[in-house]
Amino acid sequence: MAGSVVGPGSAAPTPPPPKHITRVLRADLVVVDNIGLIPVAQDTAAVLYPLTDAAYAKRSIAVSSNCTRRRSTS
């Protein structure tokens, strides 16, 4: 498949990243700030893995969080 990448230990090629992630990765540095500051939907949170996977070894990426280890349940 054209444009696909075979990951380490992977039998099948992985598809190229979506266009919105490819656009973000044009920058030399990608910063994801205040992740986890507010709750997000599962599908929204699922974008972080493809972003970091696509950036791995190709771009600098910084992820920060102001979350504490202890969260209030009230």
Domain map of the chain by residue range? Answer: 19-63
Using one digit for the tens of pLDDT, what is the confidence trace for 37-49?
777 778 777 878 8
C-alpha dist (Å) from residue 46 to 32, 33, 57, 70, 72: 14, 16, 20, 23, 24
pTM exceeds 0.75 for this model: no
Using one digit for the tens of pLDDT, what is the confidence trace for 19-33?
888 888 888 888 888
Judge residue 19's burial from the number of C-beta atoms within 10 Å of its C-beta, 0-12 exposed, 13-18 middle, 19 or more buried.
Answer: exposed
SS3 20: helix
